[in-house]
Amino acid sequence: MLMIKNILIILIIFLNASCSFNKVVKHHGIHFLEKKQKNLKIYETNRNDTKILLGSPSTIGTFDNDIWIYIERKTTVSELRTLGRKKLLINNALVLEFDNRGLLVKKDFYNKDQMNKLKFSDKETKVLDKKKGFVSSVLTTLRQKINDPLGKRKAR
């Protein structure tokens, strides 16, 4: 009986020693984005200075290559009573706009509270009234060109 108690005590000590009481924080993006963005000066900082200070951007504008977006996000696992759901600690975004010479002309910094206050439009973009998808239309066109390479046959 004494042997079983000793093994049980050793097992409990081993399990507690391997557990960490520190919360695990997962960090994605640029560390300390809020502090680093303060060093960027409008009409003084250029693209190269920005890359040296912040690194490559998380995203470059889809339609305009002169817009760079940097993101910082920190999450941690919350308490046991919430069943380990992730808790958002930091959620920052920095939007930089450069002119055609590469100088910084606009800088917008958003933290978690400011992002919650952003208003989005309720309007929806209507899709063109195509029943076929892109791939289907390309394949149909290819089939027509294979069947009638010179385009002399009449459509039936």
- Report which of 107, 85, 84, 86 is spatially closest to residue 97, judged by C-alpha positions: 107
Average pLDDT of the residues in 18-36: 77
Digit-coded pLDDT (tens) for 138-149:
777 777 767 776
For residue 27, the enclosing domain spans: 23-119
Has residue 38 been placed in a domain? yes
Q: Determine how β-strand 25-29 pairs with β-strand 59-60.
A: unpaired
Digit-coded pLDDT (tens) for 30-73:
888 889 989 999 999 999 999 999 998 888 887 777 889 898 88
Beta bridge partners of 95: 69, 108
Single-letter residue type at 105: V
How many folded domains does the chain comprise? 1
Measuring CA to CA, how many Å separate 93 from each of 32, 60, 141, 144? 11, 13, 44, 49
CA 51 to chain CA centroid, Å, is 18
Has residue 134 been placed in a domain? no
